[in-house]
Amino acid sequence: MSERVLNETAIGGGGGRNGDAVERATGERRVRVSLGARSYDVVIGSGLIERAGAHVAALVPGAKVAIVTDETVAGHHLAALEGSFSGRAEVRGRFVLPAGEATKSFPELARLTEGLLALGVERGDVVVALGGGVIGDLVGFAAAILRRGVRFVQVPTTLLAQVDSSVGGKTAINTAQGKNLVGAFHQPALVLADTRSLSTLSPREMRAGYAEVVKYGLLGDREFYIWLEQGWRGVVAGNDAAAVTRAVEVSVAAKARIVERDETETGERMLLNLGHTFGHALEAWAGFSGRLLHGEAVAIGMAQAFRFSASLGLAPTEVAARVERHLREVGLPTRIRDIPGPGAPDAAELIALMAQDKKVMAGRLTLILAREIGEAFVTRDVDRAAVETFLQAETA
Ligand code: NAD
Ligand code: GLY
């Protein structure tokens, strides 16, 4: 029997009887991502890092683990994670990498994969990614190529990573040409989203993660968007545990259903890129730096996608204004002029950066536009000239 089949037997379709009892006792929620042999659970709950060892040992009895995190997250959560393995699984070693987007690079990938090999990590082991999307994306890619694929478990510690990057199996590093251009689809074996870990996250990072939460409402769930418009404060402040759990669970379930239908992004999954085509270009222009966080770029990109849809007559102007109002109320940027620091991109520069987008086909841009809140769609029918005219107005 393959290791993957053994995995599935161990975790069952949502925890089984023991899993149900644990869920009742701990308030854990589970979302299954059903992808045949690559299926896995996303467990959401408070204090999960302290129970991570038990979850991993249940998934892969007898496995040895290697933990990868960044310097900031290590200071807050590494001891608790390592402690959770005590008596349950041997920790072969841990890697503490620099925090920040620059870590998603060839040099860090090389250091990490060679380090994992030097530790003797085997195919039957588990590599655990503790951190935000940067650590998740890098570790996932390292796991995809190490010995042609080892299991990895995501322990996402940012709101962004809990609602988006830890789920769905996209892994990547950045290159000089752009973001996430070198990577692989490699699904995690388990995701443990500890909502309590968000208590150490900065308000700015919480807001950036919230942009990806609101994305799910905007792209396909109007009711969720309306709930967020009313209750966003408890989510962004992170002090309303029920609201945070609901926001993470609804987001993960929305992503899971889309990924199940289109794992490798040949169609519907592109909807998850609402705001990203414009946003990635802005991130690249800002040098993938703390000047503009990924979620902030997505917020500007989503506002632009709705404004562009309105300018093309596809969506009512009031809808674009409503989306922008909500994002601004939360404290997210919605305009290029909101990006702090010197200089501003021009339209031609942004178009050139957008041309590197992975969704470009035969030179045509793929855009995610919207007719209404909750009604996004994928299109290649927009002329580059129309995009340029729009961006000229946006950058004026
Ligand atoms: P990140 O991983 O850089 O984390 C943001 C900052 O918060 C870092 O400085 C980190 O050290 C710190 N941090 C993380 N958890 C913390 C905690 N609990 N307490 C205190 N500090 C903490 O960034 P991110 O926003 O989580 O992720 C962004 C990355 O995710 C981008 O590279 C983006 O491309 C990628 N992404 C990938 C996918 C995907 O599907 N794979 C989806 C969306 C975004
Ligand atoms: N974050 C976009 C995706 O996972 O497809």
76, 130 contact by CB (below 8 A)? no
What residues contact 244, with CB distance under 8 A and at least 6 apart?
A: 159, 195, 198, 234, 235, 238
274, 370 contact by CB (below 8 A)? yes
Burial of 300 (0-12, 13-18, 19+ CB in 10 A): buried
- C-beta neighbour count of 31 within 10 angstroms: 23
- Taking the centre of ligand 2 as the mean of its atom positions, its distance from the CA of residue 24, in whole angstroms, is 31
pLDDT on residue 24: 59
- Taking the centre of ligand 2 as the mean of its atom positions, its distance from the CA of residue 19, in whole angstroms, is 28
pLDDT on residue 6: 24
pLDDT on residue 150: 98
Ligand 2 site: residues with CB under 6 angstroms? 164, 168, 170, 265, 269, 272-273
pLDDT on residue 25: 60
pLDDT on residue 293: 94
Q: Name residue, tokens 């530790």.
A: 119
What residues contact 206, with CB distance under 8 A and at least 6 apart?
A: 159, 198, 236, 237, 238
Nearest to 170 by CA among 158, 182, 178: 182
Query: Which residue's CA is the closest to the ligand 2 atom numbered 3?
Result: 272
CA angle 280, 249, 297 (to 5 degrees): 15
pTM value is 0.93
Please report, as a single letter, which amino acid is at residue 49.
I
**DSSP conformational letter for 163:** I
Among all ligands shown, which has an atom nearest to the Cα of 258?
Answer: 2
Q: For residues 270 and 377, what is the distance between their CA atoms, to the nearest angstrom?
A: 9
166, 245 contact by CB (below 8 A)? no
pLDDT on residue 13: 32
Residue of 212, 255, 274 best suited for mutating to test ligand 2, as the one with most atoms within 8 Å of CB: 255
- For the record, the structure tokens of 288 come out as 């993938």
pLDDT on residue 20: 57
Strand partners, 175: 178
CA-based end-to-end distance of the chain: 61
pLDDT on residue 178: 77
212, 251 contact by CB (below 8 A)? yes
Residue of 159, 165, 277 best suited for mutating to test ligand 2, as the one with most atoms within 8 Å of CB: 165
Per-run averaged pLDDT (10 residues), the chain, 396 residues: 26 39 73 98 97 97 96 98 97 97 96 98 97 98 98 98 98 88 97 97 98 98 98 95 97 98 96 95 89 96 98 98 98 97 92 82 86 96 92 93
Following DSSP, what letter does each residue of 20-81 receive, concatenated? HHHHHHHT-EEEEE--GGG-EEEEEETTHHHHHHHHHHHHSTT--EEEEEEHHHIIIIIHHH
pLDDT on residue 21: 56
Strand partners, 65: 91, 126
- C-beta neighbour count of 320 within 10 angstroms: 21
